[in-house]
Amino acid sequence: MKTSILTIPAALFAFAVISCENPADKTAAANVKEKVEKTTDTASGTKYVFTPESTIGFVGSKVTGSHNGGFKTFTGHFTVKDGKPVGNDHKVVIDMASTFADAEKLTGHLKSADFFDVEKFPQSTFDVTELKAGENGAYTVAGNFTLHGVTKNISFPATVTQGTDSVTIKSEFNIKRKDFGIVYAGKADDLIRDEVVIKLDLTAKPEA
């Protein structure tokens, strides 16, 4: 079987398009602004704490491909009434030393001063400042996010699902790492993209 020479450039072009896809293009961009001074709204409700099934993941990419990762250790809670989050007493605390990626070498690099600088900034936090309810379990979540020693107020869409004795919050959105002072560019021929996809799948049950 002969292959037309004309098909080779076409194949290379198709490969280039696939390799250059940005995972963030398929998610909503978080709205980012300066830190908001928070007045705690202790609405009447029950404190729900995260279950071990909860996950926080991320997808980072460069011009040649992407990598998946996340955090193995984190804690947090929601305040819930009638199966729905209420007030703004909702918080997530991440142990940055628990960072992992789909390649061991990359895991070590992410923990270094080029990226998260875990030794200097051992924790990241997300402290909710406002919840806006929409329809069919849709919410807009806003909160002060501290990463790499920088705090910004970010807001993003989420979906809340009520279970028999639990509440689950799921969301996928993207942030720009440079907003948080993470500016490592990568190699000249393999530049790292600014956008990072965040994936939340958080289930909580009433605190014992």
User: CA-based Rg of the chain, rounded to a whole angstrom?
Assistant: 20
Cβ neighbour number for residue 78 with a 10 Å cutoff: 28
Q: Is residue 13 part of a domain?
A: no
**Positive or negative CA dihedral for 162, 166, 172, 177?**
positive
Q: Is residue 100 part of a domain?
A: yes
Q: Is residue 4 part of a domain?
A: no
CATH of the domain at 46: 2.40.128.110
In tens, the pLDDT along 7-61 reads 445 443 444 444 568 999 999 999 999 999 988 776 789 999 999 999 999 999 9
In tens, the pLDDT along 133-179 reads 999 999 999 999 999 999 999 999 999 999 999 999 999 999 999 99
Does the pLDDT value for residue 185 go beyond 80? yes
Q: Is residue 15 part of a domain?
A: no
Kindly write down the DSSP assignment for every residue of the chain, as one continuous string.
----TTHHHHHHHHHHHHHT--GGGGSEEPEEEEPPPP-----S-EEEEE-TT-EEEEEEEETTEEEEEEES-EEEEEEEETTEE-SS--EEEEEGGGEEESSHHHHHHHHSTTTT-TTT--EEEEEEEEEEE-STTEEEEEEEEEETTEEEEEEEEEEEEE-SS-EEEEEEEEEEGGGGT----EETTEEBPSEEEEEEEEEEEE--
Closest CA to 201 of 171, 177, 158, 181: 171
Domain that holds residue 182: 21-206
Mean pLDDT along residues 107-133:
97
End-to-end CA distance of the chain: 69
| Total number of domains in the chain | 1
Q: Is residue 134 part of a domain?
A: yes
Mean pLDDT along residues 193-208:
96
This model's pTM is above 0.75: yes
Q: Is residue 65 part of a domain?
A: yes
